[in-house]
Amino acid sequence: MLSFIQSTVGKKYLMGLSGLIWAGFIFGHMAGNMLILVSPDAYNVYGHAIVSNKILLYGTEIALVGALVAHVICAIFLTKQNRESRGHRYAMNPNGQKAASFASEWMAIHGSVILVFIILHLVTFKYGPHYETTVDGVVMRDLAKLIIEVFSQPMAVLWYLVALVLLGFHLTHGVRSIFQSFGLLHPAYQPIIRRAGAIYAVVVAGGFISQPVFVFLTRAVAA
């Protein structure tokens, strides 16, 4: 078991597994947040329902923090090992058909940006200003108000756009590679897997991007 984790192949399984947890979570996160496009109240009620269910909330948080820590630690070890394995750098990198894709070549870089983004994102929203509102007689956190406040600033929207596009690239390569790392690649469905990563990335990143853009256009510009 220990030698499995120490091996390059084992670390890749761990990367894939922890990545899979996050890839699954962000789909739900994106889909749920789409309610901001419906109405601030709908969004607040949805958010309140989540934080009221302590088992779901803490269970998810523990799984996510655990997966993130494992993912980052493995990534640090692997990146360090991979740099050492390369040794002397090339004067010229592969190009044309023999080159690695942008997404796969820069996983560590967009991964690092995404990590910073996650921390700042939590500071901004989860641990941000606490407004309150009452919907149908229930007092709850008015997260929608904070969202509108934040995404009325063009720079905040721009930063989210950059981070989410990078997340898209990270997912394109990540989701596809899970199949490879887990040993689930098979000639018959290799082309489908190749596309699945890209489609998943476009759906998740596209869905997320629509939210700050919608808020900015409807609230800040209209106001």
Radius of gyration of the chain (CA): 20
Residue 33 binds to other proteins (criterion: CB under 8 A): no
Q: How far apart are CA 38 and CA 15, in angstroms?
A: 36
**Can residue 191 be called a binding residue for other proteins (CB under 8 A)?**
no
**How many residues contact other proteins, by CB under 8 A?**
48
Kindly state whether residue 53 participates in binding other proteins, applying the rule CB under 8 A: no
Residue listed under structure tokens 């108000």: 145
Asked if 193 and 185 count as a contact pair (C-beta separation under 8 A), the reply is yes
Q: Is 170 near other proteins (CB under 8 A)?
A: no
Q: Which of residues 82-101 bind other proteins (CB under 8 A)?
A: 82, 84-101
The answer to whether 148 and 85 have CB atoms below 8 angstroms apart is no
Least CB distance to other proteins at residue 25 (A): 22
Q: Which is nearer to other proteins, 197 or 212 (CB)?
A: 197
Nearer to other proteins among residue 40 and residue 111 (C-beta): 111
Contact call for residue 109 and other proteins (CB under 8 A): no
Closest approach of other proteins to the CB of residue 13, in Å: 6
- When asked if residue 78 is in the footprint of other proteins (CB under 8 A), the reply is yes
Nearer to other proteins by C-beta: 106 or 125?
106
Residue with tokens 């890839």: 23
Quick check: 210 and 168 in contact, CB under 8 A? Answer: no
For Cα atoms 181, 115, 195, give the angle at the middle one, nearest 5 degrees.
Answer: 40
Site membership for other proteins, residue 130 (CB under 8 A) = no
Rounded to an integer, what distance in angstroms lies between the CA atom of residue 184 and that of residue 177? Answer: 10
Member of 17, 25, 45, 104 binding other proteins (CB under 8 A)? 104
Q: Which helix (H) or strand (E) holds 140?
A: strand 138-141
- Looking at the Cβ atoms of 95 and 127, the one nearer to other proteins is 95
CA distance 205 to 117: 14
CB of residue 190 vs other proteins: minimum separation in angstroms?
7
Decide if residue 76 touches other proteins (CB under 8 A): no
113 contacts 163 by C-beta, under 8 angstroms = yes
Q: Are 140 and 133 in contact (CB under 8 A)?
A: yes
> Which residues form the interface with other proteins (CB under 8 A)?
1, 3-4, 6-13, 78, 81-82, 84-101, 104-105, 107, 173, 176-177, 179-187, 190
